[in-house]
Structure 1
Amino acid sequence: MSEHITAAVVRSPGRLVREPDALAALLTAYHLCTEEEKGSPVTDATRLPPRYRAEIDDPRTAFADDTVLIAVEGGAAAGCLVVTAPAGGSAEIKRLWTDPARRGRGIASVLLREAVAHCADGGVATVRLSVWNWRTSAIALYERSGFRICASWDPRGDLVCMEHPVA
């Protein structure tokens, strides 16, 4: 399944995001879905909170210090993931999203493997992430990928915090 999937590492702004429109489309879908799941559905990206609109409108600036992974399947952007710049020996995974029409093909697993390998190459000791507790299939994927639930660093009650030792 995942043998036809590649994950291209693109960085902003030092190396321009090669497909900013594709990334913006993936981020838009991610944020619209998340707002709907939180019970605050919005009709389009212009109604998203300003911090999310900033990611969509200008991912180069929004993720200037971070690493963006874009999974490509059949020449099209199929998923994305953001790894924050390391701080205090750890980095955080954010915005993991797979195009719903392409789910079940191992895209998210490829992105996670690439993210952990990227962190290991950068000397990061721990990769962490947070996920909404209703995203049970995502939590199961993270656990299969070596992440373990840990004490929360986020005050929002519906989040599950997870870590993966990289060393």
Structure 2
Amino acid sequence: MDRLAELLAAYHLRTEAEKGEAVVDVEGLPDRYRAEILDPRAAFADDVVLMALSGDTAVGCLVVTAPVGGRSEVKRLWTDPAFRSRGIASGLVSAALGHSTESGVSTVRLSVWKWREGAIALYERLGFTVAESWEERDQLACMERAV
């Protein structure tokens, strides 16, 4: 498994555990998440995947979706727990905002689980505000920011 797949696996396994649906390994994940891990290049073929490196090792990732209607979405922000509190997540989000500006996007949006207070605080520091929800899942907060 390449490093992006490992980061995505950690992200999805942690998310399922936080939702109270802990699974032992990747095989227990829902099909849509397992597909991202098994072939991230195919799953995100139309998107931009940003990676944060420590030396030659990928320690964080973020996906910026292809623009639709002048908007892109930030997804799958994850930093290896051993590398947290070093500005990696904010660097990835800032890079995503820069990419979106260069791509002619006017708004970047995201959804985040409401219990991820640290992530919400990060997004707010970077200028995101709570937006009307476009998600059907009630535990997700939707946020957006003009670029």
TM-score w.r.t. the length of structure 1 is 0.87
Q: Is there any run of 5+ residues in structure 2 with no aligned partner, and where? A: none
Q: 1:98, 1:60 → 2: CA distance?
A: 19
Residue 25 (structure 1) aligned with residue 6 (structure 2) = yes
The DSSP-based 3-state class of the residue aligned with 2:98 is: helix
Which residue of 86, 90, 115 maps to 2:71? 90
1:164 and 2:145 are equivalent in the alignment:
yes
Quote how far apart the aligned CAs of 1:75 are.
Answer: 2.0
SS of residue matched to 2:141:
strand
Distance in 2 (CA, whole Å) between partners of 1:73 and 1:107 is: 10
Deviation digits for residues 68-99 of structure 1 (CA, Å, limit 9, x no counterpart): 00000122101000000000000000000000
Secondary structure of 1:128's aligned partner: strand
Counterpart selection for 2:33 from 52, 55, 63: 52
Cα deviation code 1:91-142 (max 9, x no counterpart): 0000000000100000001000000000000000000000000000000000
- Pairing 1:140–2:121 present: yes
Distance, in Å, in 1 between the alignment partners of 2:48 and 2:15 is 22
The one-letter amino acid paired with 2:61 is C
Are residues 1:67 and 2:40 paired? no
Q: Percent identity?
A: 63
Runs of 4+ in 1 over 6 A off after TM superposition: none
Instruction: Quote the residue 1:3 is aligned against.
Output: none
Which secondary structure does the structure 1 equivalent of 2:69 belong to?
coil
Gapped runs of 5+ residues in structure 1? 1-19
SS at match of 1:109: helix
Q: For 1:46 and 1:101, how far apart are their aligned partners in 2? A: 24
In 2: Cα distance, 1:86 partner to 1:121 partner: 11
Q: What secondary structure, in the 3-state scheme, does the structure 2 residue paired with 1:25 have?
A: helix
AA aligned to 1:110 is G
- Give the Cα–Cα distance (whole angstroms) in 1 for the partners of residues 91 and 121 of structure 2: 15
2:15 corresponds to 1:34: yes
Matched residue, 1:106: 87
Report the aligned-residue RMSD.
0.7
Q: Name the CA distance, whole Å, in 1 between partners of 2:55 and 2:143.
A: 31
Q: Which has the higher contact order (CA 8 A, sep 6+)?
A: 1
